[in-house]
Structures are given as C-alpha cells and as structure tokens.
Chains A and B, each alone.
Chain A
C-alpha cells in the first residue's frame, strides 16, 4: 500500500517566521512530488512540484526532496496570515500515468 504521511497539525508559526512542513512517502519508485495549498471550503491549488534531489525555490516557497530518506518538505519564508491553510503533500509514481497519492494534509496557522 503506497502511502504519504504528514503530521496533521495544527502547526502554529508567528508572522514573518519560517514555516516548515514535512512529508514522508513509502514508495521508493515515486519520482515526482507535489505541494498543494487548500483553504477551508476551497479546492487544492498547486504551489510547487519537485522531482530532483535537493532544493527548488519559487518566491517565498522552497521545496526540498531527499529520495534516500524518502522525505519531502516545504519551507515558507516570511510567513503571512494569508498562508494559513492546509498543505497537502502528494507523490507520483514511476510512470506519467501512475496515480498521485495524497497525504491527509497539515494545517498551518500563521499567528499575527
């Protein structure tokens, strides 16, 4: 059974600080990983995807992938109250047509 695990939170971070969200996955064959943001009552929004070991930066967001440890993380710098949401980690398979497995998400609260 392929699984993606996340701490459900809530994770509380002061405004302006760095929020660190973590995710582990069970399928060593997974090649691509995605971070989605979901506001309450809304649909998931893709914010980052990563497929190579190391870091990938996009604005205030940095995704980190360590395939040896089967670990993915998302860092949010200069956290804003608008970053308060649930963040879903997801992993794809070896092939393009393999389904994506989602974690249950981590709730993030940015404290003003």
Chain B
C-alpha cells in the first residue's frame, strides 16, 4: 500500500510532555501538509513542507509547535509542553511534485489526547 502513512494513530500525553507525530508521504510525493481538526470543526492548515524546506508555516502557532521534513525519513510535527487545548486529530497530506492543482491525499491521522 503506497498511501500516506502516519504514526502513531493514537497518542496520549500528560500536560507538559512532548508529542511527536510522524508522516510518510505517498510514494513519489515530495510535498507534505499538516492539518489540525477539532471535533465538529473543519481542517485547519498548519504547515507545508518540501524536503528540507518549510514553504508555508502561516498556520503554525508561534510557540511550542515545529515541523520538519528531512532529506531522509518521515516528516515530523513536534508539539512541546502540550496543553489540553492541543487535543485534536492531526492529519498529514501529500501531493505529487508535478501537480498543477495541488490535489492532496490524506493519511489516517493521529488522534492526540492530552490528559
């Protein structure tokens, strides 16, 4: 299966701990996007990355959140010192490098619960 992969699927953290969410794009895709979804809310864009580059991080909170997409390995969304308000579903999507229209394909998501 060459779909977008995310792990872990469920993550429980206590307030103040760190959360690391991983995303491997579809085979052949080089563009990765992270979104956050709260219950009954739409998808909120967080960050857009290409290999070793952050293209658009306009949706990232200024503090505690960071993202990377290294030359080797998955993209990682890192949340430091988590708070209860960080509890949400975090989705990763990828799109192919030659697409003109930026159609994005989503992974299964990571459900983060902060106790």
Q: Which of B42, B102, B104 contacts A98 (CB 8 A)?
A: B102
Q: Using a Cβ–Cβ cut-off of 8 Å, how many residues does chain A contribute to the interface with B?
A: 24
* Interface: B100 (CB within 8 A): yes
Counting chain B residues whose Cβ lies within 8 A of the other chain, the interface size class is 20 to 34
Shortest beta-carbon distance from A18 to chain B in Å? 25
Q: Which of A36, A97, A104 contacts B48 (CB 8 A)?
A: A97
Is A31 a contact of B101 with CB atoms below 8 Å? yes
Shortest beta-carbon distance from B114 to chain A in Å? 19
Tell me the complex Cα distance, A38–B24, Å. 21
Is A46 a contact of B102 with CB atoms below 8 Å? no
Chain A residues near B59 (CB, 8 Å)?
99
* Interface: B25 (CB within 8 A): no
Which residues of B pack against A, CB within 8 Å?
33, 35, 40-45, 48, 55-56, 58-59, 91, 99-109
